[in-house]
Amino acid sequence: MSDKPQACIFDLDGVIVDTARYHFSAWSELANELVIPFNEEDNEQLKGLSRIDSLEFILRKGSLVLDNHTKVRLMDRKNDRYLSHVKTMTPAELFPGVLEFIDELRAEGVRIGLGSSSRNAPLILDLCCITDRFETVVDGNSITLSKPDPEVFLTGAQALGAQPENTVVFEDAVSGVKAGKAGGFRVVGVGSPEVLSEADFTISSFEGFSLQELLSRLS
């Protein structure tokens, strides 16, 4: 990709803000109630998954079978705990450099979207005062298939009027990277190159990252 992309689509958790610790706290409390062991490695497996898929992972780990009504009640309980943490968020919790990079892209005419499995994405964007940076927000409320299915990114690209091959996805989760590649996107992993080995390339953070470097690394 020698020319600038038509669009860039960003995941939220772990890419723009760090809410993973809030998810971990809420899921671990729930798992503890169910007497199911749950650690940070397990939490890594939940990155990019929908709420129901995350719960199913924990239930499988504990060999526990529950009816749908109970599952909904447990998911609601987890979300209430998660939201109690999220509602304290401020713009100070944005990852260093990410807002500057997004603003550089926008100044260069690159269209910006959000693609997240989280149902709380709009709330987090509002609390961090960055809703206006995104032309479209595709989240867990507007998709039927969670990552690694590419639906979230394909829907975002369509809303932005961009083709997948001319759109770059930024993801921190293995399932998200797989989703982006499955949809025909170029994918930049945010995190460990060993973990996100299927990405086109990885960055450790957005500090000092620029459009010029993006084009250079993708060419």
> Taking the domains of the chain in order of start, what are their residue ranges?
7-18+91-218, 20-86
Domain 7-18+91-218 fold: Rossmann fold (3.40.50)
Tens-level pLDDT at each residue, the chain (219 residues): 558 999 999 999 999 998 878 889 999 999 999 999 999 889 888 877 788 999 999 999 999 999 999 999 999 999 999 999 899 999 999 999 999 999 999 999 999 999 998 888 999 999 999 999 999 999 988 899 989 999 999 999 999 999 999 999 999 999 999 999 999 999 999 999 999 999 999 999 999 999 999 999 998
Pick the CATH number of 20-86 from 3.30.2130.10, 2.30.30.60, 1.10.150.240, 3.30.56.10: 1.10.150.240
Residues assigned a catalytic role: 11, 13
CA distance 219 to 216: 5
Q: Which residue has the tokens 């084009």?
A: 215
Other Cβ atoms within 10 Å of 207 Cβ, number: 12
Whole-structure pTM value: 0.85
Q: What is the DSSP string of 65-88?
A: ---HHHHHHHHHHHHHHHHHHHTT
